[in-house]
Amino acid sequence: MSISLLDGGTTSTAGGAAQSFDRTNLPVNNGYEYADVDEADFFARQKVIIVTRQPQLQSDGTWSKQKSSLRFVLPITLADGSISYNVGRVEVEYHPEASVANLAEIREFCAQMAIGSAFDDIYVAGTLPA
């Protein structure tokens, strides 16, 4: 089996209502946490966590990659009343010399893997494409 991604395609979302996330004061190394403060129950709040590691000049004169990580935390209340925190992640590492077009391309391919129907089985059943 093979997988297929659209080279030069565009991925977008449509519909729904805007949901606001306000920055919290909780410490996050190299980043920030945002939460849906409209949710009264602190433990049931949806959250967005954004972290960036800046590139560093290495001793041999080369640069390390920048790493940007975004997480979405979706709490669900289980049958026994406890809360489970489901997490989705988007992470991109790139060299400082990467072009804006290159970054857009990698983000586009990642978006297709996140929402494309060809990848539904990996999310729903944990099955890998053969």
- pLDDT band at residue 2, thresholds of 50, 70 and 90? confident
118: CB partners within 8 A, 6+ apart: 3, 4, 129
* Segment 77-86, tens digit of pLDDT: 999 999 999 9
pLDDT the model gives residue 86: 97
Superfamily the domain 22-96 falls into: MS2 Viral Coat Protein (3.30.380.10)
Domain extents in the chain: 22-96, 99-130
Q: Which of 45, 84, 89 shows the shortest CA–CA distance to 67?
A: 89
